[in-house]
Amino acid sequence: MTLTSLAVGNLMRNKFRTGMTVAAVAVAITAFVLLRTVISAWNVGVEFAARDRIGTRHRVSFVMQLPRRYVDTVRQTRGVRAATWANWFGGKDPRDPSNFFASMAVDPESFLDVYDEISVPADVRARWQADRRGVLIGDVLARRLHARVGDRVTLQGTIYPGDWQFNIVGIYTATRRSMDRSQFLFHWNYLNESLPPTRRDTVGWIVSRIDDPSRSGSIAHEIDRAFEQQDVQTLSMSERAMNASFMGMFAAVLKAINAISLIVLLILLMVIGNTVSMGVRERTNEYGVLRALGFLPRHLVMFILVEAIALGALSGLVGLAVAFPFVQLVVGRALEENMGAWFPYFRIDKPTIVAAFVASVLLGIVAAAVPAFRAARLTVTDALRRLD
Amino acid sequence: MMEAAEPTPAQTTPYREPVASIVKLDGVVKTFHRGSEAIHVLNGLNFEVAEGAFEALMGPSGSGKSTLLNLIAGLDKCTGGTVRVADSNLGSLSDGALAAFRSRTIGFIFQSYNLLPVLTAAENVELPLLLTKLPGAERRKRARTALRVVGLEDRVNHYPRQLSGGQEQRVAIARAIVNDPKIIVADEPTGDLDRKSADDILALLVKLNTEFKKTIVMVTHDPAAAERATKIRRLDKGQLQ
Amino acid sequence: MIPLSYSLRSLMVRKATTAATAFGIALVVFVFATALMLVEGISRTLGSAGDPSIAIVLRQGSDAELASSIENAHVGVVLASRDVARRANGDPDGAAEVMGVIALDKIGDAGISNVAVRGVTEDSFAFRPNVHVVAGRRPNLGTDECMIGAAIRGRFAGMDLGQSFEIRHGRRVRVVGVFADRGSSYESEAWVGVDSVRTAFGREGLVSVIRVRLRDPSAYASFERSVEQNRQLGLDVQRETTYLANQSEESSKVLNGIGIAVAFFFSIAAMIGAMITMYASVARRGREIGTLRALGFKRSNVLLAFLIESFALGLLGGAVGAAASTAMGLVRFSIINMGNWSELVFRFTPTPVILAKAMVFAAIMGLLGGFFPALRAARLSVLEALRA
């Protein structure tokens, strides 16, 4: 028997209360882990962005188009190895209009060179390039649409109205976790030729592969300088910066999620603090006996702190044990399948796990502070007199 | 202690009508189970209390005196035999009916007073009246009257923590009589009190018995308390001595 | 019945514990009420601002103003319909406008965001009688003057009286007025004369949207028929209420869902906290319970007394949380309008209904948390309780 084991053993004296505290903390930690993972998963696009890619879009807004000829200029910029382009199509599956996925008109010749994390066998690639109505879809999307190679698919255009027919030529997988596996990629020519002359030959954005990632800033500048004097100006930045600025549009939501995760911690503090102070109050008499036997106030403080830390650590561990399967397996799978465009990779990251555990332990310490301080200041006789 | 007086020609004991028993226990058995062991605290006890009596029950611990008190008060049910109190057969009453019986018939005085700390003296005394259909004004009036009987009308709005032990017990006594019960049941009423306060309480109990004609059954260790009663009974191992 | 004062005063015996538990409940109520207030704010700005007698005409297949373009010549045809109401001077009550979007630096947050720019005419003002100037004056439409909505005032660089911003490279507009419109989405826009917007965004000869006021809401069906059946026009008609509801639907649903899910999670932790507190309370008051039972109070009386106590605890937390949430009414929150990818600014809107819902939620938390402890109190046997 040591002083520490005594302190920890105190937790078992009221198993029911300890159990309920752990349960409450487990729920709160699950909520905390879920919220923080939403933020970190959303940031996956930023974290794992390709270092050697630059995006170029209309300076004002990405909803506005660039002229097709801009691609040629970009290709000639020093440092650009390869460039491709894409138009956001915004199509809907008429059988399931609420199913959101990214549909884009791209250049089949160059797209897979720039986005080399999209993985298809060479023969599929060739078939895609040969079929004007051919489409490559991600494996997650294929599952959702119940689509197989060889199927005919119709999409309803929202930006480009009408019903559009496609043939599924291939299903791609991704070699990088940040790649959206729910994309629908078809020929830009197919879109362009179907448009009235006034709307032709425009692209949504241009993506370049550069030779030297350390020069991405200056190459981006070069590209923009080429269009400075023209009617339509561009804004180029690394893929990482581009994803970050997209996230920035949701700054308010992210701030709200952060605020809510702080509130969770406060709730945790209330629950742990309440339990710790109840235990201390009920044992005031015993602490008096310990003091009478010769223990010092600082021993009492240690007792209380150790018990609180043990409570925090235990609840934190149990909380994580519950949170892990729930967030990773249940929620994470559901989000990856159904909102793959927003959350291609929904996994709990290490910093979150560490933060959750550390928070529980720290909260235990904070919660114990006042009760420990008060217990230390009681005189022996007062403590012995308390029968509560 | 009373002894039967020898009648002398100059003095005859006055004729007393036989008084009805307000408490009648017949062949009462009470068994407790501790694990697989069965402990017979009371084993075929016969016990009677006359109306208007002030009886003290004494005996070593484990003798069953508290158990007997609990049975009379309707706090517990016997395992065998019958318990009749004030014309009610307690064994046949349901939980709810027992509660009603206690509220109508019994007044409680506990060793540790058992006042509700969050209520004032007046509110504590009023508590039993909430189980009746009396209107608020009437209840408060009766509570005040009861407090006057015990001599605490100047402390009506004090909380128990603001009262001394003796004063708390007097509030408890006021609570015990406010509903005009037939029997007052007291479990070591002076156990937690100093000599002076104990004497005050006992004087009060005697007053309740002689002036207000209340039947009192009191369990006590205190010989001075027992002396104030009109009859002392001793219990040992569940048997009356 | 056991007096109310017994239940309520018993809460005050352990002030710190009561405070901590109530505060935990307050935090949950705060999150819950705030989420409801945000949804209310969104629906006020987008949803209920819809007028059932207003119809919106867009190009066929477009689901947002920004993506739509309608030829000028067609405007007159639409406005000539018999179903369109007439103003006092005989003019049709409608407005045709051009929509654009610009990128501006945010103030307060780092980054750039998009602001919707509406090219307006005198008709626009006649059509919207609730639009009124709250600072400065109306702009002269043929010039480079503009007015901005109250919601975006001060949120972007150049967006305040006397300041200016660019709607196109080299084209500045000056802010001469700030307008309000009962908190509608127009308050997140900048209004400039239609000709300036046309040239700035290259929409010569076009408008983005036509709004008409029908002579009667029931005239909608016939109006829709007459416009959509005219194939030469190639236009789509919707009720403004439908249009706004669609715009906000996604965001509202998501935010509502997140808010409720989060509050539900938290409420479990708060309820467990209440349970811990009430169990301790019951344990501490064994003798009081026994006394009450001895005096003749029934088990049901005891159950009720403790339920009332935890109910009051819930209400206490609810009151604090609800009061704190009304402070959020001062906060502005922005989400991205998926129609034009520009900022839409909302207020958290407290209403009596929301506060009532928050209190009910709190009361339920108190009741559920206190239920099992109250049950335990009621099930104590009298003698056991007295011996406690």
Tell me how close the Cα of C28 comes to any Cα of chain B, in angstroms.
30
C288, C296, C382: residue with CB nearest B116: C288
Q: Is A24 on the interface with C (CB under 8 A)?
A: yes
Domain assignment present for residue B126? The answer is: no
Nearest to A63 among C27, C266, C341 (CB): C341
Q: What percent of chain A has pLDDT over 70?
A: 99
Task: Say how far apart CA A256 and CA A268 lie, in whole Å.
Answer: 19
Query: Does B102 contact C294 at a Cβ distance shorter than 8 Å?
Result: yes
Number of other residues whose CB lies within 10 A of the CB of residue A369 = 15
Q: Which CATH number covers residue B86?
A: 3.40.50.300
Cβ–Cβ contact C102 with A under 8 A: yes
Tell me which chain C residues have a C-beta less than 8 angstroms from the C-beta of B75: 294, 382-383, 386
CB-based touch C/A (3+ pairs, under 8 A):
yes
d(CA C384, CA B70): 12
Dihedral, CA of residue C20, residue C24, residue C30 and residue C35, to nearest 10? 170
A223 domain residue, yes or no: no
**Nearest chain C residue to B115, by CA:** C288
- Return the residue of B nearest to C14 by Cα: B118
Contact C62 A161 (CB under 8 A): yes
Residues A154 and A291 in one domain: no
**Tens digit of each residue's pLDDT (9 = 90 or more) over A321-380:** 999 998 888 888 888 877 777 787 888 888 999 999 999 999 999 989 988 888 888 878
Check CB contact of B159 with chain C, cutoff 8 Å.
no
Using CA coordinates, name the residue in chain A closest to C280: A278
Give C234→chain A minimum CA distance, Å.
11
- Residue C182 Cα, gap to closest chain B Cα (Å): 52
Domain ranges of chain C: 4-47+247-387, 61-233
In angstroms, what separates the C-alpha of C381 from chain B's closest C-alpha? 9
Per DSSP, the residues of A334-349 read HHHHHSTTT-S-----
B70, B76, B99: residue with CB nearest C296: B99
For residues A134 and A157, give the distance between their C-alpha atoms in angstroms, rounded to a whole number: 17
pLDDT band at B8 (very low <50, low <70, confident <90, very high): very low
Strand partners, C87: none
- C6–B100: do the CB atoms touch at under 8 Å? no
Q: What is the DSSP string of A136-198?
A: EEEHHHHHHHT--TT-EEEEEETTTTEEEEEEEEEEEEESSTTS-TT-EEEEHHHHHHTS-GG
Residue C71 near residue C123, CB atoms below 8 Å: no
Does the pLDDT at position C201 exceed 90? no
**Which of B90, B97, B28 is closest to B64 using CA atoms?**
B28
**pLDDT per position as a tens digit, A139-185:** 989 988 898 999 999 998 877 878 999 999 999 999 888 888 889 99
**H or E element, residue A183:** none
* Residue B155 structure tokens: 């402390």
Give pLDDT tens digits for A134-144.
Answer: 999 999 899 88
Q: How far is B228 from chain C (nearest CA, A)?
A: 26
Per-residue model confidence as pLDDT tens digits over C205-254: 899 999 999 998 888 999 999 888 888 888 889 988 888 777 767 667 77
Beta bridge partners of B118: none
Confidence of residue A1 (pLDDT cuts 50, 70, 90): low
A373 interfaces chain C, CB cutoff of 8 Å: no
Residue B180 has pLDDT above 60, yes or no: yes
**Cα gap C215→B43, rounded to integer Å:** 97
Q: How far is C304 from chain B (nearest CA, A)?
A: 15
CB contact under 8 A, C294 and B100: no
Structural domain containing residue B210: 21-115+181-240
pLDDT in tens, C70-126: 999 899 989 988 889 898 888 899 999 999 888 888 887 767 778 999 999 999 999
Is the CB of C266 inside 8 Å of chain A's CB atoms? yes
Q: Are A203 and A70 in contact (CB under 8 A)?
A: yes
The pLDDT of B167-196, averaged and rounded, is 93
Same domain, A59 and A78: yes
Going by DSSP bridges, is the β-strand pair A184-187/A134-138 parallel, antiparallel, or unpaired? Answer: antiparallel
pLDDT exceeds 50 at position B2? no
pTM of the model: 0.81
Whether C333 and A245 lie within 8 Å, measured CB to CB: no
Confidence at residue C48, expressed as pLDDT on a 0 to 100 scale: 53
Which of C20, C60, C265 has its CB closest to that of A270? C20
pLDDT classification of C150: cutoffs 50, 70, 90: very high
Q: Mark which residues 192-221 of B lie under 8 Å from C by CB.
A: none
Looking at the structure, tell me whether residues A63 and A155 fall in a common domain.
yes
Hey, is the C-beta of B127 within 8 angstroms of any chain C C-beta?
A: yes
Rounded to whole angstroms, what are the CA distances from C213 to C75, C210, C218, C240, C330?
14, 10, 12, 10, 34
Name the percent of chain B lying above pLDDT 90.
62
B116 touches chain C (CB under 8 A): yes
Are C335 and A253 within 8 A, CB to CB? yes
Residues of C in contact with B115 (CB under 8 A): 291
Q: In angstroms, rounded to a whole number, what is the distance separating the alpha carbons of residues B228 and B55?
A: 9
pLDDT (tens digit, 9 = 90+) per residue, C315-338?
Answer: 999 999 999 999 988 888 887 776
- Which residue range forms the structural domain that includes residue A142? 53-211
User: Count of residues for chain C?
Assistant: 388
Put simply, the answer to whether A158 touches C63 (Cβ < 8 Å) is yes
A59 interfaces chain C, CB cutoff of 8 Å: yes
Nearest C-alpha in C relative to A272 = C273
Judge if A75 and A166 occupy the same domain.
yes
Give the tokens for residue C121: 């005419």
* Cα distances (angstroms) measured from residue B155 to each of A325, B136, C171, C289: 63, 20, 86, 24
Q: Mutate which of B71, B114, B168 to test chain C, going by most C C-beta atoms within 10 A? A: B114
- CA distance, residue A124 to nearest chain C CA (Å): 33
What pLDDT was estimated at residue B1? 44
Question: Chains with ≥3 Cβ pairs under 8 A against A?
Answer: C
Contact of chains A and B by CB distance (3 or more pairs under 8 angstroms): no
Using the structure block, give the residue that is written with the tokens 């939501």: A253
| C-chain residues near A270 (CB < 8 A) | 20-21, 23-24, 27, 273
- Chains A–C, number of C-beta pairs less than 8 Å apart: 125
Q: Which string of b and e fits A108-120 if b means at least 16 CB within 10 Å?
A: bebbbebbeebeb
Residues of B in contact with C290 (CB under 8 A): 114
Tokens representing B221? 């260790």
Cα–Cα nearest to A140, from A100, A92, A186, A95: A100
- Partner-chain contact B114 C298, CB within 8 Å: no
Tokens of C153: 């005032």
Distance from CA of C382 to the nearest CA of B (A): 7
Q: Residue C67: its chain A contacts at CB < 8 A?
A: 158-159
Q: Is the ipTM of this complex over 0.95?
A: no
8 Å CB contact of A264 and C266: yes
Task: Find tokens 């005085």 and name the residue.
Answer: B109
Domain termination site, one of A211, A229, A259: A211
Q: Clarify whether residues A72 and A36 are in a common domain.
A: no
pLDDT above 80 (res A98): no
Contact assignment for C269 to A252 by CB distance below 8 Å = no
Which residues contact residue A1 at a Cβ distance below 8 angstroms, ignoring those fewer than 6 apart?
none
List, in order, residues 6 or more apart from C249 with CB less than 8 Å away. none
**DSSP, res B4:** P
pLDDT for C49 equals 56
pLDDT given for residue C171 in this prediction: 85
Q: Give a yes or no: residue A29 inside a domain.
A: yes
How far apart (Å, rounded) are the C-alpha atoms in residues B183 and C128?
Answer: 85
Q: What is the pLDDT of residue B85?
A: 93
Nearest to C155, CA basis, from C114, C107, C101, C103: C107
Q: Show which subunits contact C, needing at least 3 CB pairs below 8 angstroms.
A: A, B
- In chain C, which residue's Cα lies nearest the Cα of B113? C291
Residue, of B97 and C256, whose pLDDT is higher: B97
Residue type, A43: N
Q: What is the pLDDT of residues B95-131, one digit of tens each?
A: 888 889 999 999 999 998 999 999 999 999 999 999 9
User: B118 and C299: CB-CB below 8 Å?
Assistant: no
Question: What's the structural domain count of chain B?
Answer: 1
Same domain, A71 and A198: yes
Query: Is A235 inside a domain boundary?
Result: no
- Within a domain: residue B165? no
Where would I find the H helices in chain A? 3-9, 15-42, 44-47, 70-76, 108-114, 122-130, 139-145, 188-193, 216-226, 239-248, 251-282, 284-293, 297-323, 332-338, 350-377, 380-385
